[in-house]
Amino acid sequence: MIYRLNGKLIHTEPTFAVIECGGVGYKCLATMNTLRALPAVGETTVVYTHMLVREDAIELCGFATTAEMNCFKMLTSVSGVGAKVGLAILSVLTPEQVALAVSLGDSKPLTKVGGVGNKLAQRILLELKDKIKKLGITEPINTAQTPAAAISMPAGNLSQAVGALAVLGYSPEEVLPFMKDIDQNLPVETIISQTLRAIGRQ
Q: How many domains does the chain have?
A: 3
- In 3D, which of 102, 20, 98, 96 has the Cα closest to residue 62? 20
> At 95, which CATH number?
1.10.150.20
Whichever domain contains 12, its CATH number is 2.40.50.140
Question: In the listed set 32, 63, 94, which residue is the last one of a domain according to the structure?
Answer: 63
Instruction: Give the domain-ending residue among 114, 134, 154.
Output: 134
Shared domain for 112 and 153, answered yes or no, is no
Residues 56 and 82 in one domain: no
CATH number of the domain residue 173 falls in: 1.10.8
Same-domain pairing of 190 and 148: yes
Q: Which whole number is the average pLDDT over 102-123?
A: 92
The pLDDT of 100-121, averaged and rounded, is 92
Mean of pLDDT values over 137-144:
38
Q: In percent, how much of the chain has pLDDT > 90?
A: 51
Whether the model pTM is above 0.85: no
Give helix 95-104 / helix 83-92 axis angle, nearest 10°. 100
Identify the domain containing residue 24 by its residue range: 4-63
The answer to whether residues 12 and 59 belong to one domain is: yes
Q: Do 123 and 89 belong together in one domain?
A: yes
pLDDT value at 79 more than 60: yes
Residue 124 sits in the same domain as residue 173: no
Q: Looking at the predicted structure, is the pLDDT value of residue 13 above 70?
A: yes
Cβ 19 vs Cβ 8: under 8 Å: yes
- 161 vs 168, 175, 182, CA distance in Å? 11, 9, 11
Residues 148 and 96 in one domain: no
| Residue with more model confidence, 73 or 131 | 73
